[in-house]
Amino acid sequence: MSPAEHAKAKAEAKAREKAEAEAEAKAAILNRRRPLMTAPVVRPDIRAEKPVPPPQPGRTSPAARRRAYLVASGAGAVLAASGLSADVSPMDDISLSPDVAKIVIQLEDDRRRLKDIKATDRKVEAKRLMLPAYKGWCDGVLAAGAGERGPLDQVFTTIMAWTIDVGDYMTALPMLEHTMIHGLDMPAQFNRDPITFAIDQICEEAIRLYDLGLAKDAGFDAAVLPMLQDLVADHDVDLHDEVEAKLHKAMGRAVLAEANEEDAADLKARQETALREYLAAIEKCPRVGVKKDIERLQRALTKAGAETANEDQTSTENTASQDA
């Protein structure tokens, strides 16, 4: 074979290889776009093959989080248009945006991991490691504001619930207000609306920490409690009596925890405020557990009032004696 013929044969071989590669690529695209089969796709249970791997902290890069933010904030219609339940694999919905599908796939994967964890404290720690992967997307949802309602709303409220579970209350508050403004629902397994869930979880933890004297060590930010009260007032929320009582009780605990025993005026002001909170709590729910707190505060304030009256009387007598 002459050099020219050899070069020609080589070029033809390369052309055939290129044509075959293009044909394979087109076939792959067509396969991805093919209609759903009527028969369900049976997937093997990967958990039977190997244990569920632990969550990887920092597994989402800043660039990926930025992309998730842009997807959520710039495509509100896409987020709500899939008609996808959080319990259904997005791989079965060809209309779902690939970028949004990643969020749902990731949540499905993380929920499976959590089911395999039995201890509550380990579940909380696992959620703490999982949450950074959703931050960009959730920030994008918040930035987008109002959008069409859709099943992916419950992805957002699930992440909000996890944020509360790990104790990151200040991050959860804007998410909570978003759910209230736009009427988002919690996933069915929670059996509560978002504000009720938030107040229950946050106040139970606050009361537990204050009763054990661990609030400061745990880094509990008491500012979250009046913010919750503001949300209830601003949105005219009709709370169950037990839930509202729990919020008043937590507020009373928080107010007293910061009292300065050396400052009589500050101590009295805090005792009066806490007493008002406890009285409001017991009015809503007599079983809320503040009866003894009320009795102690009433005795302390009565004693302080008597001491103040004695001091005023003594001061008046001294002044009169000096004038004479």
User: What is the 3-state secondary structure of 277-317?
Assistant: HHHHHHHHCCCCCCHHHHHHHHHHHHHHHHHHHHHHHHHHH
Whole-prediction pTM: 0.68
- The answer to whether position 32 is within a domain reads no
In terms of domains, do 257 and 269 share one?
A: yes
Residue where one domain finishes, among candidates 137, 163, 188:
188
Q: Tally Cβ neighbours within 10 Å of residue 314.
A: 10
Using left for φ > 0, alpha for ψ between -120 and 50, and beta otherwise, residue 124 falls in alpha
Report pLDDT for 17. 72
**261 domain residue, yes or no:** yes
Could you count the other beta carbons within 10 Å of the beta carbon of residue 141? 27
Residues 180 and 278 in one domain: no
Residue 82 · residue 95 · CB < 8 Å: yes
Confidence at residue 309, expressed as pLDDT on a 0 to 100 scale: 63
User: Which pLDDT score, from 0 to 100, does residue 137 have?
Assistant: 87
Same domain, 60 and 134: yes
Which range marks the domain in which residue 127 is found?
Answer: 46-188
Residue 78 lies inside a defined structural domain of this protein: yes
Q: How many domains does the chain have?
A: 2
* 171: exposed, middle or buried (Cβ count in 10 Å: 0-12, 13-18, 19+): middle
Query: Could you list the pLDDT tens digit for every one of the 324 residues in the chain?
Result: 555 565 566 667 766 776 676 666 555 544 444 433 333 333 344 334 434 334 344 445 555 555 555 444 443 333 333 333 333 333 344 345 666 778 888 899 999 999 999 999 999 999 999 999 999 888 888 988 766 566 678 889 999 999 999 999 999 999 999 999 999 989 888 889 999 999 999 999 999 999 999 999 999 999 999 999 999 999 999 999 999 999 999 999 999 998 888 898 999 999 999 999 999 999 999 999 999 999 999 999 999 878 766 665 566 656 656 655
Quick one: pLDDT at residue 54? 43
Task: Indicate whether 198 and 153 sit together in one domain.
Answer: no
Residue 133, domain member (yes or no): yes
Whose structure tokens read 């920030």? 139
171 and 60 inside one domain: yes
Domain match, 89 and 217 both: no
Residue 199, C-beta contacts closer than 8 angstroms, at least 6 positions apart: 228, 232, 239, 243, 246, 247
Give the DSSP H/E element, type plus range, for residue 192: none
Q: Does 298 share its domain with 220?
A: yes
What per-residue confidence (pLDDT) applies to 37?
36
Domain boundary among the residues 188, 217, 250 is at 188
Enumerate long-range contacts of 301-305, CB under 8 Å, 24 or more apart. 301/268, 301/271, 301/272, 301/275, 304/264, 304/267, 304/268, 304/271
CA pair distance 143, 296, nearest whole angstrom: 47
Residue 34 counted as domain residue: no
Please say whether the dihedral angle defined by the alpha carbons of residues 93, 98, 99 and 101, taken in this order, is positive or negative. Answer: positive
Please indicate, yes or no, whether residues 254 and 270 belong to a single structural domain of this protein.
Answer: yes
- Other CB atoms within 10 A of residue 50 CB: 7
Enter the DSSP assignment of 55: P
Residue 166 in any domain: the answer is yes
Same-domain status, 184 and 232: no
Whole-number Å distance between alpha carbons of 172 and 127:
14
Contact 133, 62 (CB under 8 A): no
Is there a domain that residue 7 lies in? no
Task: Identify the pLDDT of residue 319.
Answer: 62
Are 175 and 217 in a shared domain?
Answer: no
Distance of alpha carbon 197 from alpha carbon 179, whole angstroms: 12
- Report the pLDDT value the prediction gives residue 125, as an integer from 0 to 100: 96
Whether 152 and 164 share a structural domain:
yes
What confidence score (pLDDT) does residue 105 get? 86
Task: State the CB neighbour count (10 A cutoff) for residue 150.
Answer: 18
Do the domain assignments include residue 118? yes
**Where among 145, 163, 188 does a domain terminate?**
188
One domain for residues 171 and 271: no
CA atoms within 13 A on the CB side of 296: 9
